């Protein structure tokens, strides 16, 4: 019998593991603190950027000349519109098509008007080269004729500029159809090429369509002097025969004065200042009051690529790619290169900030990059000159560094958490397994301390009583409890023997007195009935004492190897002589050997066959069968007669349980519910058990006594 049947539910180990899930809070807390750290670092970066911006603004403080229209020796020149120079994301492929200007072409400015040619011009700058996109509306362009030496006999473009020596420079672009343009330095009349050979500093390409022609050209910025004056004029020749210049449109009003438009762009001096402040991962802009870019340095694009170089990326193991992907989801970091260059939008996005700076308020803002995958912090500070504001310093920096730092920390935390979690889980598992094992062992030991009938073992073996913890306490308590129970059981088992000792004296008195009475000629009937009564009392007391000490008796008995089949056949032979029922015995051909006490087997047969004889319906036969399994032999005793009800089956083999009705019992036999109890004890002593079933036909019962076969080979 198990102590406490199993209730379905989580076991101790599962419960501990569940409780251990609380440990998952550790990485979460780490993540939260990282978030706070990110916030802190971002703010720190913004502050640092603002400080840098202030520093730059302080450097530029009062340097009005850097922002003024430079070198206005002539008042008129200040009237001239500047040619805005837009920063370009990269080189322009000189092919006459506008695609690589990335929408910047909308910013081109229109010049000229009837009757002169109309054209639009857009200038950009990249890597110290100036790029131009010129689109001329001319439905009938006149191309250069190779036969003419003079250059003004066809449609052409004139470029005016001041060179590094502040001398007037003249370049003329002419073409013979779609394709590369040819550039010459020309005389002051724009007729003859002065060196006679093309000038390759300026390169261009023309594309001609129905509306006119487009020229993309490029020249090194170094060609221009410090004044950066540049003018452009389009000469239109209408008559293919006359080939004279009909009209000239230009970007500046008077082509005969050598004042041209100033190319409004970085000033060399400002840029020189900024060079020293260049930061790897930041982009610094200096803008003037009109928010034209005066200088810029650095770039945002490269830093992310720098951080994860492609070689490493390729060599990354799978787990790292996985962790990158997961972490990217968590903190928004991406290893994609940053693309934040859009000349149209670069400044527009920081508009509010810039305008605030213009009013004298420096500030920072955080915005997503153009590709939406990065965060960019922008800081703007006004550049002052006394009370007035002459420009703005803008520093843009992506948070990539912080994010990568955060990612590193997260990886670190994740790895440490994983390691510590698995260590804790393993320790918890081992610990719980050990606890569970100890508790299970204690339960098993406790279970074994008594047999299924509730009798205590003489020496219950409780292990783990030397442990100092609570389970050790529990083990010791159970051990003590079992010891006490054992003492009590021993006390109980001695009661019948004590009782026998005590009752034997009065019994003896009565018996001897009766004998005297008999000798004196007392009434024989009464004397004999009194003697029978005494005999019953004596038998009851003996039986009780025997049942109580049967365990000891069984253990002290001599055990021998004996043939159960031979014993059974002798027993049945003698039984047939005195039993009024027919007895059918079926034995196997071979002898069956068991190890045990023959006297007690005989006692067992006495009990079972007395029982069968008493309950058998007169005239029916009792069937006794013997057969064996691999390890046990089974003695089946079947009689026809009353069946046993279900409730009784369970308690049939318990002490003091009798099947017999009081009127059913005869006076000479003692039936105080010991017989089947003793029979069961004998079976158990012989390594088996005793069971009973009602016959399926419900007209009798069958007892089966199981006894262990001997392990000693009989051959």
Partner 1 sequence: MSYQIAIVEDDPDQRHNYAMALEKQGYTVSAYADRGSAREAMSSAMPDLVVLDIILGHEIDAGFQLCRELLAIDPSLPVLFLTERVDEIDKISGLRLGAWDYQPKPVSLAFLVERIASLLRLRALRDEPIPATRPAQATGHLSIDADAMQVHWRQQLLELTITEFRLIAALVRRPGYPVAYEALMQATIQQYVTRNTINTHMRNIRRKFCALDSAFACIGNEYGHGYRWLKES
Smallest gap from residue 544 Cβ to partner 1 (A): 13
Residue found under tokens 């101790």: 12
Smallest gap from residue 512 Cβ to partner 1 (A): 4
3-state SS, residue 412: helix
* CB distance 583 to 624 below 8 Å: yes
Site string for partner 1, 141-180 (x = CB under 8 A): ----------------------------------------
Q: Is 660 exposed, middle or buried (0-12, 13-18, 19+ CB in 10 A)?
A: middle
DSSP H or E segment with residue 431: helix 400-448
Q: Which of 447, 502, 528, 591 binds partner 1 (CB under 8 A)?
A: 502
Q: Which is nearer to partner 1, 23 or 579 (CB)?
A: 579
DSSP 106: G
Closest-CA residue to 188 (of 162, 163, 165, 160):
160
* CB distance 529 to 509 below 8 Å: no
Instruction: Tell me: does residue 570 bind partner 1 (CB under 8 A).
Output: yes
Q: Which is nearer to partner 1, 357 or 541 (CB)?
A: 541
DSSP 195: S
Closest-CA residue to 604 (of 555, 550, 657, 541):
550
Q: Which of 241, 256, 574, 580 binds partner 1 (CB under 8 A)?
A: 574
**What is each CA distance from 310 to 109, 306, 307, in whole angstroms?**
42, 9, 9
Instruction: Tell me: does residue 513 bind partner 1 (CB under 8 A).
Output: yes
The CA distance from 281 to 98, in Å, is: 30
**Phi, psi for 643 (deg, rounded to 5):** -90, 170
Q: Which of 151, 605, 690, 709 binds partner 1 (CB under 8 A)?
A: 605
Residues of this chain, 468-497, that bind partner 1 according to CB under 8 A = 497
Instruction: Tell me: does residue 230 bind partner 1 (CB under 8 A).
Output: no
DSSP 22: G
Among the listed ranges 291-299, 600-608, 618-626, 653-661, the one in contact with partner 1 (CB under 8 A) is: 600-608
Q: Which is nearer to partner 1, 11 or 573 (CB)?
A: 573
Q: Which is nearer to partner 1, 214 or 603 (CB)?
A: 603
Q: Which is nearer to partner 1, 546 or 614 (CB)?
A: 546
Q: Which of 211, 509, 560, 621 binds partner 1 (CB under 8 A)?
A: 509
Q: How many residues does the chain have?
A: 715
Among the listed ranges 163-171, 186-194, 385-393, 515-523, the one in contact with partner 1 (CB under 8 A) is: 515-523
The CA distance from 277 to 269, in Å, is: 13
Smallest gap from residue 488 Cβ to partner 1 (A): 21
Q: Which is nearer to partner 1, 275 or 508 (CB)?
A: 508
Separation of first and last alpha carbons in the chain: 38
Among the listed ranges 17-25, 30-38, 212-220, 593-601, the one in contact with partner 1 (CB under 8 A) is: 593-601
Residue found under tokens 């308020």: 361
Distance between alpha carbon 165 and the CA centroid of its chain, in Å? 70
Other CB atoms within 10 A of residue 15 CB: 12
The CA distance from 599 to 595, in Å, is: 12
Instruction: Tell me: does residue 614 bind partner 1 (CB under 8 A).
Output: no
Q: Which of 512, 560, 590, 711 binds partner 1 (CB under 8 A)?
A: 512
Closest-CA residue to 557 (of 686, 389, 702):
686
Smallest gap from residue 445 Cβ to partner 1 (A): 32
The CA distance from 634 to 182, in Å, is: 122
The dihedral region occupied by 618, where left means phi > 0, alpha psi between -120 and 50, and beta the remainder, is: beta
Instruction: Tell me: does residue 598 bind partner 1 (CB under 8 A).
Output: yes
Residues of this chain, 530-569, that bind partner 1 according to CB under 8 A = 534-535, 538-539, 542, 546, 558, 567-568
Smallest gap from residue 676 Cβ to partner 1 (A): 17
Q: Which is nearer to partner 1, 134 or 547 (CB)?
A: 547
Smallest gap from residue 651 Cβ to partner 1 (A): 25
Instruction: Tell me: does residue 575 bind partner 1 (CB under 8 A).
Output: yes
Among the listed ranges 16-24, 179-187, 438-446, 570-578, the one in contact with partner 1 (CB under 8 A) is: 570-578
The CA distance from 388 to 289, in Å, is: 10
Residue found under tokens 């449609």: 155
* CB distance 609 to 638 below 8 Å: no
Instruction: Tell me: does residue 345 bind partner 1 (CB under 8 A).
Output: no
Smallest gap from residue 444 Cβ to partner 1 (A): 36
Instruction: Tell me: does residue 515 bind partner 1 (CB under 8 A).
Output: yes
* CB distance 618 to 580 below 8 Å: yes
Cis peptide before 658 (omega within 30 of 0): no
Smallest gap from residue 583 Cβ to partner 1 (A): 11
Q: Which is nearer to partner 1, 515 or 582 (CB)?
A: 515
Q: Which of 164, 388, 480, 508 binds partner 1 (CB under 8 A)?
A: 508
Q: How many residues bind partner 1 (CB under 8 A)?
A: 39
Q: Which of 507, 527, 559, 644 binds partner 1 (CB under 8 A)?
A: 507
The CA distance from 517 to 681, in Å, is: 42
Q: Which is nearer to partner 1, 224 or 562 (CB)?
A: 562
**Phi, psi for 161 (deg, rounded to 5):** -160, 165
* CB distance 171 to 186 below 8 Å: yes
Among the listed ranges 49-57, 234-242, 444-452, 601-609, the one in contact with partner 1 (CB under 8 A) is: 601-609
The vertex-172 CA angle with 166 and 173, nearest 5°, equals 135
Q: Which is nearer to partner 1, 414 or 517 (CB)?
A: 517
* CB distance 297 to 287 below 8 Å: no
Smallest gap from residue 575 Cβ to partner 1 (A): 5
Distance between alpha carbon 676 and the CA centroid of its chain, in Å? 64
Smallest gap from residue 600 Cβ to partner 1 (A): 9
Instruction: Tell me: does residue 72 bind partner 1 (CB under 8 A).
Output: no
Instruction: Tell me: does residue 498 bind partner 1 (CB under 8 A).
Output: no
Q: Which is nearer to partner 1, 182 or 603 (CB)?
A: 603
Q: Which is nearer to partner 1, 356 or 534 (CB)?
A: 534
- Contact footprint for partner 1 (CB under 8 A): 497, 500-502, 504-505, 507-509, 511-513, 515-516, 519, 534-535, 538-539, 542, 546, 558, 567-568, 570-575, 577, 598-599, 601-603, 605-606, 609
């Amino acid at each position: 019998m198990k102590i406490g049947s199993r209730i379905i539910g989580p076991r101790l180990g599962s419960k501990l593991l569940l409780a251990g899930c609380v440990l998952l809070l550790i990485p979460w807390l780490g993540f939260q603190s990282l978030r706070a750290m990110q916030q802190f670092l971002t703010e720190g970066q913004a502050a640092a950027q603002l400080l840098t911006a202030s520093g730059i603004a302080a450097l530029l403080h009062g340097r009005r000349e850097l922002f003024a229209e430079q070198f206005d020796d002539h008042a008129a020149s200040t009237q001239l519109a500047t040619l805005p120079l837009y920063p370009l994301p990269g080189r322009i492929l000189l092919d006459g098509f506008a695609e690589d200007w990335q929408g910047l072409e909308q910013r081109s400015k229109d010049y000229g008007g009837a009757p002169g040619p109309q054209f639009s011009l857009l200038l950009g700058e990249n890597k110290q080269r100036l790029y131009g996109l010129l689109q001329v509306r001319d439905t009938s362009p006149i191309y250069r004729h190779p036969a003419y030496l003079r250059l003004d006999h066809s449609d052409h473009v004139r470029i005016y500029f001041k060179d590094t020596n502040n001398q007037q420079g003249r370049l003329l672009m002419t073409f013979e159809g779609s394709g590369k343009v040819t550039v010459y330095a020309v005389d002051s009349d724009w007729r003859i090429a002065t060196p006679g050979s093309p000038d390759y500093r300026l390169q261009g390409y023309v594309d001609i369509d129905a509306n006119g022609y487009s020229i993309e050209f490029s020249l090194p910025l170094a060609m221009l002097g410090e004044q950066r004056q540049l003018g452009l004029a389009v000469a239109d020749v209408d008559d293919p025969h006359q080939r004279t210049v009909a009209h000239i449109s230009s970007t500046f009003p008077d082509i005969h004065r050598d004042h041209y438009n100033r190319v409004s762009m970085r000033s060399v001096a400002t840029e020189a200042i900024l060079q020293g402040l260049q930061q790897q991962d930041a982009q610094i802009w200096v803008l003037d009051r009109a928010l034209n870019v005066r200088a810029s340095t650095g770039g945002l694009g490269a830093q992310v690529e720098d951080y994860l170089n492609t070689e490493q990326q390729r060599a990354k193991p799978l787990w790292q790619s996985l962790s990158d992907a997961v972490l990217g989801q968590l903190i928004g970091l991406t290893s994609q290169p940053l693309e934040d260059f859009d000349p149209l939008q670069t400044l527009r996005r920081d508009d509010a900030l810039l305008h605030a700076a213009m009013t004298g308020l420096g500030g920072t803002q955080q915005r997503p990059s153009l590709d939406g995958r990065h965060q960019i912090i922008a800081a703007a500070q006004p550049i002052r000159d006394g009370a007035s504001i002459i420009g703005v310093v803008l520093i843009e920096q992506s948070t990539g560094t912080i994010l990568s730092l955060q990612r590193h920390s997260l990886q670190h935390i994740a790895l440490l958490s994983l390691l510590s979690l698995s260590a804790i889980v393993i320790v918890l598992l081992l610990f719980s397994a050990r606890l569970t094992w100890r508790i299970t062992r204690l339960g098993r030991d406790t279970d074994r301390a008594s047999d299924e009938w509730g009798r205590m073992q003489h020496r219950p073996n409780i292990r783990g009583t030397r442990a100092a913890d609570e389970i050790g306490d529990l083990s010791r308590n159970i051990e003590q409890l079992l010891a006490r129970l054992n003492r009590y059981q021993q006390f109980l088992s001695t009661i019948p023997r004590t009782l026998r000792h005590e009752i034997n004296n009065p019994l003896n008195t009565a018996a001897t007195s009766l004998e005297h009475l008999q000798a004196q000629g007392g009434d024989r009937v009464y004397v004999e009935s009194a003697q029978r009564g005494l005999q019953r009392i004596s038998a009851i007391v003996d039986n009780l004492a025997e049942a109580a000490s049967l365990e000891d008796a069984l253990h002290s008995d001599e055990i021998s190897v004996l043939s159960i089949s031979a014993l059974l056949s002798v027993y049945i032979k003698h039984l047939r002589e005195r039993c009024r029922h027919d007895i059918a015995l079926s034995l196997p051909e071979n002898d069956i050997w068991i190890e045990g006490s023959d006297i007690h087997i005989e006692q067992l047969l006495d009990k079972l066959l007395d029982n069968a004889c008493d309950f058998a319906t007169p005239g029916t036969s009792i069937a006794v069968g013997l057969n064996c399994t691999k390890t046990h032999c089974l003695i089946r005793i079947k009689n026809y007669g009353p069946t046993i009800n279900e409730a009784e089956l369970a308690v049939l083999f318990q002490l003091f349980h009798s099947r017999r009705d009081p009127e059913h019992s005869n006076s000479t036999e003692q039936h105080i519910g010991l017989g089947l109890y003793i029979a069961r004890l004998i079976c158990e002593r012989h390594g088996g058990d005793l069971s009973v079933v009602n016959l399926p036909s419900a007209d009798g019962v069958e007892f089966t006594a199981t006894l262990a076969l001997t392990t000693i080979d009989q051959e």
